[in-house]
Amino acid sequence: MALTRLTLRDFRNHAATRLDGMATFNVLTGENGAGKTNVLEAISLFAPGRGLRRAQPSDMAAAQGSGQGAGGFAVAAELEDGALALGTATAPSTPNRRSVRINGAEGPATRLAEWLAITWLTPAMDRLFAEGAGARRRFLDRLVLTVDPGHARLATRYETALRERNRLLSEPTEPDPIWLDALEAQLAETGAAIAAARRALVQKLDAAIAAEPAGPFARPVLGYAGETPDDASALAALLRDARRRDRAAGRTLTGPHRDDLAVTMAAKNAPAAVCSTGEQKAMLISIVLAHAELGAEDGSRPRLLLLDEIAAHLDPLRRAALYARLAASGAQVWMTGTEPAPFADLPAPAAFWHVADGRVERR
């Protein structure tokens, strides 16, 4: 079991919501706009980063004057009936500064990955393979993070050094080479480790997907598309040699921030980007399911899967296959839908809530 209690205060359209008695499967139903996805977003804040909508914290708070608060919000969760307490909140005076508490002690958001492994799939991700590489990198890093909690700290250190190198490269005067050496050493150390972790997971996922018997979901073939070496000294040399080019561009053109996740539909031998929206969604589901099953090998942290509107366009055969594999994954699953009928065949144990106008009622 993972979450056993969740409370939301002044979070989006939830003035005061509390959910207790979670199960392996947890289903939120209600009309569009009722606040179902808001609950999933609140849970996603217990992972490093900006949550499943990538929204600013100020956008998550109930609007001032709405009768639902003064511009700040709070979300709290208990795991294992209070054995672990997590919280995140903003204050009206600092609406974009989100604090994190772990068992009452304030800490960095990157530490959340040490306690929970959270993955999500939302309708906005259905076109992941047809859009820019940045979204695919974030998706891949989220998958890596659930198996390697240290990945968040690496990414933060890399992004800090990258911003500073880009700032120096864009200045009118020639940057100090000693300062560039120091920045590139940090970029090389963290960048090579990020690329190595991504490659390792992609290879593992691709092997797991290939080993699965033929099923109702389109089978993808995965690859890591990037030239970032796994060796820090090799990456440092590339960065040093590229200074003139990068200075002309005004930014760093080598590193894991330029890499991509390559996906091909096995049945067609076609890039995912040229496949239909339905085929792309099916491949995305295959990846998430394979990843969930890989996570079962590591029982050190509770695992949560947040699946927004996952069953909406699946036929009964595919829904049954989805539920069976989710049950086998050992993760706690949260799903949303406009009506309970598609979830009637969920394996037990399952808990159901109805959401209406930011209010949640156990069914």
Lowest pLDDT segment from 68-77, 135-144, 243-252: 68-77
The sign one gets for the Cα dihedral 254, 256, 258, 260 is positive
Interval 155-171 mean pLDDT: 97
Domain contains 188: no
Domain contains 197: no
Number of domains in the chain: 1
Interval 330-341 mean pLDDT: 96
Domain contains 20: yes
The yes-or-no verdict on residue 192 having pLDDT over 80 is: yes
Interval 122-148 mean pLDDT: 94
Residue 35: which CATH number? 3.40.50.300
- Residue-range definition of the domain harbouring residue 47: 1-116+302-363
Q: Which of 186, 193, 200 is nearest to 252 (CA)?
A: 186
Domain contains 346: yes
Domain contains 69: yes
H/E stretch holding 11: strand 3-11
Domain contains 129: no
Q: What is the pLDDT of residue 71?
A: 79
Interval 118-145 mean pLDDT: 94
- Asked if 353 and 27 count as a contact pair (C-beta separation under 8 A), the reply is yes
Domain contains 354: yes
Interval 299-321 mean pLDDT: 90
Lowest pLDDT segment from 70-74, 182-186, 302-306: 70-74
Q: Which amino acid, residue 278?
A: G
